[in-house]
Amino acid sequence: MDKHLLLPLVILSSLLGFLQALQCFHCDRVNASGVCVSGERFCETTGSQQCFVKKVYRDGIISYGYQGCSSLCVDMMFLNFNVNLDWKCCHHASLCNKF
Ligand SMILES: *[C@@H]1O[C@H](CO)[C@@H](O)[C@H](O)[C@H]1NC(C)=O
Would the pLDDT of 17 be above 90?
no
Is 84 part of a structural domain of the chain? yes
Would the pLDDT of 83 be above 90?
no
pTM (whole model) above 0.85: no
CATH number for the domain harbouring residue 41:
2.10.60
In which domain, by residue range, is 54 found?
Answer: 22-90
Q: What confidence tens digit (pLDDT) does each residue in 38-79 have?
A: 999 999 999 989 999 999 999 989 999 999 999 987 766 767
Q: What is the pLDDT of residue 79?
A: 72
Is 11 part of a structural domain of the chain? no
Would the pLDDT of 84 be above 60?
yes
10 C-alpha to center of ligand 1: Å? 46
- Give the residue among 69, 75, 70, 64 at the shortest CA–CA distance from 99: 64
Is 52 part of a structural domain of the chain? yes
In this structure, which residue's CA is closest to atom 5 in ligand 1? 37
pLDDT bin (cut points 50, 70, 90) of residue 20 is: confident
Is 36 part of a structural domain of the chain? yes
Q: How many domains does the chain have?
A: 1
Is 68 part of a structural domain of the chain? yes
Helix H or strand E encompassing 69: strand 61-70
